[in-house]
Amino acid sequence: MRIAVLSRNPKLYSTRRLVEAGEAKGHEILVIDHSRCNIEIEKKKPKVYYKGEQVTDVHAIIPRIGASVTFFGTAVVRQFEMMNVFSTTESVALVRSRDKLRSLQILSRAGLGLPKTVFTNYSKDVETPIKAVGGAPCVIKLLEGTQGLGVVLAETQKAAESVLEAFNGLQARVIVQEFIKEAGGADVRVFVIGDRVVGAMKRQGKEGEFRSNLHRGGSAEIIELSDAEERAALKAAKAMGLGVAGVDMLQSAKGPLILEVNSSPGLEGIEAATGKDIAGEIIKYIERNAEYDD
C-alpha cells in the first residue's frame, strides 16, 4: 500500500514513527509537506501536486496538520478525499476539532461531562462569566491556543477580571472555565483509534504549574482507565467524527470531564508512557479501512 503522511517536518518524532511503522509492515510511505502542495480543481478531476509533480496512486493519508496551517492543510486533505483516498482524519472532523467552542458544543450535545464553560462576545461585563463558572479561581483560554499556550489560571476575582479585560481589549476570543481543584494539575490523555482505546497516560504539571502539557515540562505515566473514562473517551471521539484522536479529560468528583479532543495527537509522550506501538496501531487502522489491491 502507498501511504502519505502529511507533515511539514519529516524529522518530528510522530512523523518518523509513522514512517517506521508503515515500512515495517511492508508499505511504501511518503512524507508530503502539505503547505507546499498545489491543488487543481476541475470537474471530476481533482489533483494534488507536490514539488511540481502530480501525486498519484496513494491509498491512504495520515494528516499531521498543525494549527497554524489548518485552513490550507484541510483543503489538501479534502482534495485527497475527492480523489477517493482514505484519510485517518476526515477534513470535516479536522475543522470541527480545531474550533474549541464548536467542539465543546458538540460534546455537550452528546451528553458528555465538561467543565462549566462560558463564552461572550467581547462583553464589558467581565464579572458575569466569572461568576457563572463558580468564581475564582477559574481558567481563561484563548480559543486559538495550543500546547498550553494562551491558558491562564486566574486565582482571584480581580485577576480574572483583569485578564478578561485585557483579552477583550485585544479582541482575542476566549472562554472562561471552572477550575477543577481535585484534578491536582493533572489530566488524562486517552488515545483512541477507530472504536478502541489503544493507550492512556496521566500527565502531571510540574510543580507550581497547573497546565499538564508535556511541552510545558509536565511528566507522564501510564494509567488504567475506569470504565466511565473509557466510555467517555470513545463517545467523545465518535461525537467529533475522528478515527484517530487524543481525548484529554480531567478526573473530577463528578466523573470524567472532557477538556479537548485533539485531531493530531503526538505519539512521543503516549508511546514513552505506555511502551505501546501506537504508530503501528494507526497503520493497522489504515489496513482495515483503506481500499487497495494486494
Q: CATH 3.30.1490.20 residue ranges in the chain? A: 117-179
How far apart, in whole angstroms, are the C-alpha atoms of residue 164 and residue 154?
Answer: 10
Residue 236 to residues 113, 123, 241, Cα–Cα distance (Å): 10, 30, 9
CATH of range 182-263; options 3.20.20.70, 3.30.470.20, 3.30.70.260, 3.40.50.1370:
3.30.470.20
pTM value? 0.90
Per-residue pLDDT of the chain (294 residues; tens, 9 = 90+): 999 999 999 999 999 999 999 999 999 999 999 999 999 998 889 999 999 999 999 999 999 998 889 999 999 999 999 999 999 999 999 999 998 899 999 999 999 999 999 998 878 889 999 999 999 999 998 887 555 567 888 999 999 999 999 988 888 888 999 999 988 888 999 999 999 999 999 988 766 555 555 555 577 899 999 999 999 999 999 999 999 999 999 999 999 999 999 999 999 999 999 999 999 999 999 999 998 766
Q: For residue 220, count CB atoms less than 10 angstroms from its CB and return exposed for 0-12, middle for 13-18, buried for 19 or more.
A: buried
Residue 104 to residues 13, 150, 238, Cα–Cα distance (Å): 29, 17, 14
Cβ pair 162, 180 in contact under 8 A: no
Pairing of strands 138-142, 151-154: antiparallel
Question: With the CA atoms of 266, 271, 276 and 281 taken in that order, what torsion angle do they form, in degrees rounded to the nearest 10?
Answer: 20
Instruction: Quickly name the fold that domain 2-89 has.
Output: Rossmann fold (3.40.50)
Q: CATH 3.30.470.20 residue ranges in the chain? A: 182-263
Calculate ∠ Cα 51-54-55, nearest 5°.
95
Cβ pair 171, 122 in contact under 8 A: yes
**CATH class of segment(s) 117-179:** alpha beta
How far apart, in whole angstroms, are the C-alpha atoms of residue 87 and residue 107?
Answer: 23
| Amino acid at position 116, single letter | K
Q: CATH 3.40.50.20 residue ranges in the chain? A: 2-89
